[in-house]
Every structure is written in C-alpha cells, then in structure tokens.
Amino acid sequence: MAAINKRDLDGVRATLHFPHVLLSQAAVTHYPAASDFSFAAFDARTAGQGWSHSTFDSHSVLMSDPNKAHLDIEFTRWRADGSKIGTYHAMYIVIRIDGRWGIQARSSQL
C-alpha cells in the first residue's frame, strides 16, 4: 500500500509475482510480465473520485500452507481532505516463489 500511495510503480511491481491476475467487477486482467503492469487500470478506477491515498484496515488468513496464503483484505480509499471514498474487500493469493513472497492473484469487489 505504501508503494501505491507513493505512486512507486517499481515498488508495487516488487510486491507482485508475474504472471499476475486481477479479477474485478466482471473483468479478468492478466499481466504476463512486470512491464505489462502500470497504474493505468488503477487510475481509471479512481478517476473523478479525488483519490489521495489508501489504507489497509484489516486482514485475515483464510487458508495457508508454508508457501501460499489466501488473505481477506479490507481497505479504504481516501481523498486529500480526509473524506472517505469507500471501504472495500479483496482477496489476495500470496505465494512464495524462490524464497520471495508476492501477490500472484487478487480478487476485488471493485
């Protein structure tokens, strides 16, 4: 979340594994490589909302093993004036590959 808030594209890419999959609304977005991932989809989703930053509100582990975890995430998007845009749920599938944990897939209610 810190990398998203700083608009640090390389930082966000570093939290993900590729290929990466995002399931949101009625769409499935596939990012074959890090170079395919940008802020374009995020900017399109937040356009006109006055997005300033987001916060993680809570998380819980739905299931896990030594190399994979499914997480229920709750997060809030905020405007610069401190007003709330909305609170949302997502599921992250986090996997350890070659000793590095990263998000392989996300599913969001957005």
pLDDT of residue 89: 95
Inter-CA distances, 103 with 69, 81, 84, 96, Å: 9, 31, 26, 9
- Domain of 26 in residue numbering reads as 2-108
| H or E element at residue 23 | strand 16-24
Q: pTM score, two decimals?
A: 0.90
16-66 pLDDT, tens digit each: 999 999 998 778 999 999 999 999 988 888 889 999 999 999 999 999 999
CATH assignment of the domain containing 70? 3.10.450.50
How far apart (Å, rounded) are the C-alpha atoms in residues 88 and 99? 30
70-106 pLDDT, tens digit each: 999 999 999 999 999 999 999 999 999 999 999 999 9
- The single-letter code of the amino acid at 98 is D
Domain count, the chain: 1
